[in-house]
Chains A and B, each alone.
Chain A
Amino acid sequence: NAGVTQTPKFRILKIGQSMTLQCAQDMNHNYMYWYRQDPGMGLKLIYYSVGAGITDKGEVPNGYNVSRSTTEDFPLRLELAAPSQTSVYFCASSYSTGDKNIQYFGAGTRLSVL
């Protein structure tokens, strides 16, 4: 009964370092999403994917990259980390779109860039 699994839960990076946030889902969902959540703000979409091999930019993609080689995994890559990337990152997946779109979220990764 795993659902959407994100690792790590917490991470501290130095400015200029890079890292990959992992996301895996076991529900055979086609659609996957990465969001960031800043204090007092709603979630902003970073990247999304409509299936293996297909990704597209969301609202705030700068400084991030993604890949989707399998249905299950959707890693988010941070290159040259900056303090502005300090945030909580959520991965989500859904079976479909429109009125059948129920997104299932992971527990989040809390990232600090110092």
Chain B
Amino acid sequence: GNSVTQMEGPVTLSEEAFLTINCTYTATGYPSLFWYVQYPGEGLQLLLKATKADDKGSNKGFEATYRKETTSFHLEKGSVQVSDSAVYFCALTTTDSWGKLQFGAGTQVVVTP
């Protein structure tokens, strides 16, 4: 079956620090990969996605590259802000899964001034 593994949190950083959140996956089909973000008290919202190998998804200064050879989709941001404090979820879907997303456990990020 499909599965997603994320690094455990919380990750605590100072403002302007570099952020990396590791995500690896296993999938029976050819997956599309996503990062969703959940701000405190809110639902999840799509941050970025990549649909084929070597694609780079980017949004709001965040980037992630679809690495088929290492089955990874690590999220990075060069300079975080306090407003980036949230829980980040890596997820995948495959063409045979009827749109169902398989989520990782989530990584809480706390950015301090």
Contact = CB atoms under 8 A, between A and B. Distances in A.
Interface of A: 4, 31, 33, 40-43, 45, 48, 50, 56, 58, 90, 92, 94, 96-99, 101-108
A31 B105 contact: no
Contacts, number: 69
Interface residues of B, number: 24
Interface of B: 4, 32, 41-46, 49, 51-52, 89, 93-95, 97-101, 103-106
A99 B104 CA distance: 18
A101 B33 CA distance: 10
Nearest to A31: B99
Contact of B89 (A40, A42, A104): A42
Given A102-B49, A106-B43, A42 B105 contact: yes
Contacts of A40: 105-106
B101 A101 contact: yes
B49 A42 contact: no
